Amino acid sequence: MDSIVGSDLIVAALVFGCAGLTFAIAPFVIVMIGGIRKAETTNSGEGGYINTLFMAFCVHVVSCFFFMTVIYILDVFYDQSSYISGKIFQIFWAGNETQVMKLVGGNATSAAKGAWTTLYFVTTIINYVFALLPLLLIAGAASYGFKQARKDTYNENILTIVSFMSVSVIVATLFYIAWAKIASLALFLPDGRDLIDITQSMWKDILLKGV
């Protein structure tokens, strides 16, 4: 593949990177949406939501490891190296133009720059989605805890509501960490990084720019 031009390498990185994101996110989201709709329709209550969460996480694990297996098999069929799991995904997560062009051999042609622009646009959106995800998760968990506390009308007070909300947020946070660790494996993030590292870096940049 050394003869492949820079633009083709960037396009390949975009394809494989988006495929990884699809396997790491789509199955989990689909199962969660279907399970929540079923739980609300059948009025199965808290047990239905917990079962849905557990099932979605199991599907998430299977999906991520399936994608990883496919990528490693492709590596073996290529030349028994880590070309796709290493170099191709490294290009996808590289970030700035200088790093990307260096990884593709310095072929900064107009086609390569056009491909990088598309890659940069996609990865920027992805990074901001990952940065906002913990906030959405905390808001959703707090809302769920508040809803469960209000069901207990006999013990409805500030302490009960705060307790339910706190437990929901803690459980959701632990679950998010486990989800992010598994998803990071399927995304082949370079240098041993994971989604939590990316999220922290994004928020540092956002806060520093706001200072």
Map residue 146 onto helix, strand or coil.
helix
Q: What are phi and psi of 183, to 5 degrees?
A: -60, -35
- Structural element, H or E, at residue 173: helix 158-187
Sequence length of the chain is 211
Q: What is the pLDDT along the chain (211 residues), one digit of tens a residue?
A: 444 577 888 999 999 999 999 999 999 989 888 877 776 676 555 556 778 888 889 999 999 999 999 999 999 887 767 889 988 999 999 878 888 888 887 666 778 888 888 999 999 899 888 888 888 888 888 887 787 777 755 556 788 788 888 888 888 888 899 999 999 999 999 888 889 888 888 888 777 775 4
Is residue 112 a contact partner of residue 104, using CB atoms and an 8 Å limit?
Answer: yes
Q: How far apart are CA 207 and CA 211, in angstroms?
A: 6
CA quadruple 172, 140, 183, 187: dihedral positive or negative? negative
With a CB cutoff of 8 Å and minimum separation 6, the contacts of 119 are 10, 13, 14, 91, 92, 100
